[in-house]
Amino acid sequence: MKPVEIAKDIYCLSAIDWNIRDFHGYSTYKGTTYNAYLILDDKITLIDTVKKQFADDLIDGISQIIDPKKIDYVVSNHTEMDHSGGLPRIMHKVGEDKPLYCSQMGQKNLSRHFPQNWNYHPVENGGKLSLGNRTLTFLETRMLHWPDSMFSYMKEEKLLFSSDAFGQHYAGLERFDDQIGEAIMPHARKYFANILLPFSPLILKLVDSVTEMGLELDMLCPDHGIIWRKDPGKIINSYVGWSQQKPKRKALVIYDTMWHSTEKMATTLVEALGEEGVDAKSIHLRSWHRSDVLTEVLDAGAIIIGSPTLNNGIFPTVSDFLTYMKGLKPKNKVGAAFGSYGWSGEAVKLINEHLGAMKFDVVDPGLKVQFVPDNECIEACQELGKKISRALPSE
């Protein structure tokens, strides 16, 4: 591990997970990173650790700067094990009796993960920790990403250690936004869509309260991916825009198919939407990873779901996707369902129930066809495309 000095006596220690391709169901096709931060001051402080298998790398990185035993304080901004998995190894090396600062919920959650009776120092929202010349202020950020999550702010350097927020699943040697440029934005967007989307209302409140507090920011230091130093406002503004979930004149026709009947309906719908000036995309669920589909969902105005009926139910890949999407709570969508069937035909009704549960504006009872679409079905698909286009913003 190669430490990178991001400000005077403050180091980013990144474990680069080049080859991870599945991060609990999220497709990390560019890998990821786990960032810890070391602050040298009168009290030497480590903020966060890394995933368990990289703990020795972190110790190696720290040892290139100081003897790990010299660390006085450890701060845990977040309990999830991509940041705390290395904690037992680190605490063992640093000293089991060293103070461990975390939120109150952090103490509860860390205790449920690790049996060690560490020297916990739970902190309040707004609590401060003097390191000597500089001070950390802790900001509770419940549910960004877990109930235990908090940020640590250093006023003197205008640095925010933001844990999961503003991160990206990206493995690379670049450490800063100015080293990678626009190429990082698709990763930041996908990360938001698949991890932080359900917490959009909290993000908008948080940005408001941080603005009211007048926090000055030179650098945003997340626990995944690159650090925002050239333009931290860019990612904050992107978060505000993504959290608002304003629908575009964009429609996703998301489907699976058994004998190409549902696929034929999907193709007709996409063409009909395109003729109405809608940015329409055809998404076959056995060709797309669910986490890439969710990235497209972020700004889509219409989500149209197609499934054949299989054994009186929804096709498994479509069920999987609906369950995943429902958990991420996308808002402000128009919805519709379609699909072919052989003899019972429950899928459309069941999809409509999912769309209704997500509070989508279901604009049509749904289209279903027995076995193979005929001309009447194709015309109905074209009409449905027009109906959906009328429900979308005109832009």
Q: Which is nearer to ligand FEO, 143 or 215 (CB)?
A: 143
Burial classification of residue 263, based on how many CB atoms lie within 10 Å of its CB (0-12 exposed, 13-18 middle, 19 or more buried) = buried
Q: Is 17 in the site for ligand FEO (CB under 6 A)?
A: no
Active site residue 78: yes
Residue closer to ligand FEO by CB (options 45, 79) is 79
Nearest by Cα to 191 from 325, 281, 51, 294 = 294
Say if CB 151 and CB 165 are below 8 A apart: yes
Annotated catalytic residue 80: yes
Catalytic residue check, 191: yes
215 Cβ partners below 8 Å, 6+ apart?
153, 160
Does position 82 bind ligand FEO by CB under 6 A?
yes
Find the helix or strand (DSSP H, E) in which 313 lies: strand 313-314
Active-site choice (11, 170, 191, 255): 191
Regarding 93 and contact with ligand FEO (CB under 6 A), the answer is no
Of 54 and 288, CB closest to ligand FEO: 54
Instruction: Look up 224 and say whether it is catalytic.
Output: yes
**Could you say which residues in the range 134-153 bind ligand FEO, by CB under 6 A?**
145-146
Annotation marks residue 92 as catalytic: no
User: Residue 81 Cβ, how far from ligand FEO at the closest point, in Å?
Assistant: 8
Does 78 contact ligand FEO by CB under 6 A? yes
User: Residue 239 and residue 233: Cα distance in Å, rounded?
Assistant: 10
Residue 249 as a binder of ligand FEO (CB under 6 A): the answer is: no
Among 17, 140, 148, 164, indicate the residue that binds ligand FEO (CB under 6 A).
164
Considering only the stretches 79-87, 131-139, 172-180, 281-289, report the one whose residues sit in contact with ligand FEO under the rule CB under 6 A.
79-87
What is the Cα–Cα distance from 329 to 321, expressed in whole angstroms?
13
What sign does the dihedral 34-35-38-39 (CA atoms) show? negative
The minimum distance between CB 36 and ligand FEO, in angstroms, equals 12
Binding-site string for ligand FEO from residue 29 to residue 68, where x marks contact by CB under 6 A and - marks none? ----------------------------------------
Residue 142 parent element (H or E): none
Amino acid residing at 186: P
Binding mask 206-225 for ligand FEO (x = CB under 6 A): -----------------xx-
**Interatomic CA distance for residues 34 and 82, integer angstroms:** 7
Separation between Cα atoms, residue 76 and residue 83, nearest integer Å: 8
Give dist(CA 127, CA 179) in Å, integer. Answer: 34
Residues annotated as catalytic (active site), given as ranges: 24, 78, 80, 82, 145, 164, 191, 224
The residue ranges that bind ligand FEO (CB under 6 A) are 78, 80, 82-83, 145-146, 164, 223-224
